[in-house]
Structures are given as structure tokens and as C-alpha cells.
Amino acid sequence: MRFDFRFGVEEEYFLVHRATGAACGSPPAGFWRDLKKDAAQASKELLQSQVEAKTPPCHSAAQCLEELIASRSAIDGVARNHGLGLLAAGTHPDFDWRLNEASAGARYTKLVRDMRVLALRNMFCGMHVHVETPDPSARVGLMNRCGPYLPLFLALSVSSPFWRGQWTGMRGYRLTGYDELPRTGAAPVFADEEQYERYVGALTRAGAIPDASYIWWAIRPSLNFPTLELRICDSVTDVRAAVAIATLYRCFIRRIVRDETFGATPSAMLRAIAEENRWQAQCDGLDAVIIDVETLAPIGARMAIRKLLGDLAADAAALGCEADLLGIETILENGTSADRQIALFLEATEGGAAESDAVKPVLDWLLAESAAS
């Protein structure tokens, strides 16, 4: 039987006041009640200013797109009735984290207790992509081999150039802030599944974490599903770009699974290079110059992504998603959400607007683009 490499997407969004785009630190109770009734795909996040939507396991990009459009539309419809909207981006351009309120629930209470003030500073939204693997016990080895390529997925997704009303000079600030939390960043290179399980066991016995879902690396074996979960991406403003990135990851996992010779042999050096490449992608997005993990020569991020697309051509054909990967070329040609946000901001400031006012056209664009149609 052919293995289908089913995949699913989790998206995190900010809840904002529709009239202004300002983040909503504490939505009315009626919003959560209506959301539970009318948007079954949606759920609370740690902070009340955020909401998450999940697709079921998908067999195609078309199905994934349909699911994400439906969930974004349902959430936006409920939000509209309460004067709110959703915003898909890695950071909210001008929200002050000190206005945050944590959600109720045992998991969230523990996170606030364990993370202290960092829990309330966690004003970041990401996109997570799950891809099912044929042998769940092999996921740690696959994770090791995926690590050096993850900055390419970040470069495609960056949507967080602003923090508390200021352009950071970066395309992707989200991971810089997220790195404040423990058990984030690049996954360690484990010798095998047994070593990984010993690590998780040591942390749980010490009471540091209840289970492996409290490990938030850029990629991880999912605790609840037989998947390898990509977590490095910012929340992607354009829903079609989100599906294209998820499809690229699905093809990438198929190649890693079927071809043990693909890519470079995992090592401490390559992990360090991947961290440097991640930093360059955070700073410059698709314009970054990174280090090719196979040749160790400098290469532009766009060229590296196009090289990966070529490497995955057979996998895209086998999964029937060649046309769906054209969305990656669209991102490479038109730029990311971060590129558009920065362009709007600079256009406003060059027109004489103060920086505090120049964020407003960014918010307007994000609000309009995030609601799928």
C-alpha cells in the first residue's frame, strides 16, 4: 500500500479590534462561547489575545486550503459579531505585552507558573505543520536530518518585522523573542530514539515538564500524532502561501524518508551552521545570504529554496502536488508578509508620518489579508 504522507496545519492568530487593528487583550466571554459553537476547528491559546485553528489530516493541498479557509472564515465571522477580527502574523505590530491576560485552564496555569513573566511576553504566533511518517519510531533520526534545512522554511514564512510599534530592522523578530523560553530553538542531535526518550524521561521525572508537548523546538516528534512537526515558521498572512509552505514540507519529509543519502550527515557543526542560517533568515528573510549545508559555500536564500524545489521534484510528482508548489515560486517572486509590511511602513514614514502612525497601514493590510476569502 502506498504511504500517503498525510499532513495537517495548525495556525495561530491574534485577535484584534476590527476598527483599529489593536490587539484585544481580553475578548468578551461571549466571543469564546460563540467560537466554541460556530468554529469547532478553533481553540484558545495561552494568551487571550490569541486563537488557534487546526486542520484534520489532509491528503492534498486543495483539502488543506479548503480547511484553512473555512476555519479562518469561521473565526473571523464570530469575531466580526463582537467587533473583532483575526490577524495572521508572527508578531502584532504594536501591542504592548503588559496588557496581556492568560487564558483559564490547568495547562495555561502551569505555563504561567513555570514561565513566570515570559509567559505573558509570549506574544508570538506561528504556523506548525505535521507530516505523518511511516515509522514513528524513526522520527528522531529524521528530525536530525531535517534540522539544517529548517531556515529555508523560516525565510519563506517571515511575518514579524515589528515589536511594540517599532520596526526591529528584521524580517522575523518572533523567534528572537521566543528564544527567551526554555526548550526552544534548534533540536539537539540525538544518537537515536532511545536517547531522546531518556532525555524526555529525565525531564519528566524531575518535574521540569509533564510530558514532551512542553518541548518547543523548531521541529519535534509530536506527542499526540505519528508526525514530525515543523514549528519554525511564523504565522503566514496569506493562506495560500501557508498551504504552499506546508506542501513543500510534506514533499521534503517524503524525500528524507525515502532517500537516506539525501542532504548532509547531521553533526554538531551543521547544527551550529543551521543556527547561523536561522539568524540570517530572521534578519533578511528571502534576501539572506546563508551557508549551503551540503557544500558549506555561501548561497542566497532564494537560490537555496529553488535548489530544494528541484531536489523534491520527484516527490512532488509522486504526491501529485507539482502545481501546488508553484505557490513557493510566487513567494520567491513577490516577497513575504514581512516584506510587504516593511514596504507599507516605509512608504508612510517617507510620506511624513510618525513611526507610531506608520504602523496603521500595516495593521489595515494585515487585517484585510488575514481573513481568507
pLDDT for 281-297, tens place per residue?
999 999 999 999 999 99
User: How confident is the model over 149-160, as a mean pLDDT?
Assistant: 98
pLDDT band at 47 (very low <50, low <70, confident <90, very high): confident
**Per-residue confidence (pLDDT) for residue 153, from 0 to 100:** 98
Domains identified in the chain, total number: 1
Q: Using an 8 Å Cβ cutoff, are 30 and 82 in contact?
A: yes
Least reliable range by pLDDT among 1-5, 50-54, 361-365: 1-5
From the list 189, 204, 198, the residue with the least C-alpha distance to 264 is 189
Q: What is the mean pLDDT of the chain?
A: 94
Q: Using an 8 Å Cβ cutoff, are 300 and 332 in contact?
A: no
Residue 241 resides in a domain: yes
pLDDT band at 105 (very low <50, low <70, confident <90, very high): confident
Residue 130 resides in a domain: yes
For the stretch 297-326, pLDDT in tens is 999 999 999 999 999 999 999 999 999 999
Higher-scoring residue by pLDDT: 107, 70: 70
Q: Report the alpha-carbon distance of residue 53 to residue 68 in Å, rounded.
A: 8
User: How confident is the model over 316-337, as a mean pLDDT?
Assistant: 98
For the stretch 232-275, pLDDT in tens is 999 999 999 999 999 999 999 999 999 999 988 889 999 999 99
**Per-residue confidence (pLDDT) for residue 269, from 0 to 100:** 94
Q: Report the alpha-carbon distance of residue 264 to residue 272 in Å, rounded.
A: 13
Q: What CATH number is attached to the domain comprising 317?
A: 3.30.590.20
Residue 335 resides in a domain: yes
**Per-residue confidence (pLDDT) for residue 31, from 0 to 100:** 93
Q: Is the pLDDT of residue 67 over 90?
A: yes
Q: Is the pLDDT of residue 1 over 70?
A: no
Residue 340 resides in a domain: yes
Q: Is the pLDDT of residue 143 over 80?
A: yes
Instruction: Report the DSSP beta bridge partners of residue 172.
Output: 160
Residue 50 resides in a domain: no
Residue 371 resides in a domain: no
Residue 26 resides in a domain: no
Q: Report the alpha-carbon distance of residue 294 to residue 264 in Å, rounded.
A: 5
Q: Is the pLDDT of residue 118 over 80?
A: no
What is the pTM assigned to this prediction?
0.96
Residue that has been written with the C-alpha cell 534578519 in this structure: 283
Taking the mean position of all CA atoms in its chain, how far away is CA 167?
20
**Per-residue confidence (pLDDT) for residue 161, from 0 to 100:** 98
**Per-residue confidence (pLDDT) for residue 293, from 0 to 100:** 93
Q: Is the pLDDT of residue 97 over 70?
A: no
Long-range interactions of 196-199: CB distance < 8 A, separation 24+: 196/140, 196/221
Least reliable range by pLDDT among 78-87, 96-105, 150-159, 331-340: 96-105
Q: Using an 8 Å Cβ cutoff, are 249 and 7 in contact?
A: yes
User: How confident is the model over 102-115, as a mean pLDDT?
Assistant: 77
**Per-residue confidence (pLDDT) for residue 122, from 0 to 100:** 82
Query: What Å distances lie between residue 108 and 45, 79, 178, CA to CA?
Result: 8, 22, 17
Residue 40 resides in a domain: no
Q: Is the pLDDT of residue 65 over 90?
A: yes
**Per-residue confidence (pLDDT) for residue 145, from 0 to 100:** 96
User: Where in the sequence is the domain holding 254, given as residue range(s)?
Assistant: 7-11+102-362
The single-letter DSSP state of residue 264 is P
- Exposed e or buried b per residue across 252-290, where buried means at least 16 C-beta atoms within 10 angstroms of its C-beta: bbbbbbeeeebbbebeeebbebbbebbbbbbbbbbbbeb
Query: What Å distances lie between residue 51 and 47, 125, 245, 267, 322, CA to CA?
Result: 8, 9, 21, 37, 32
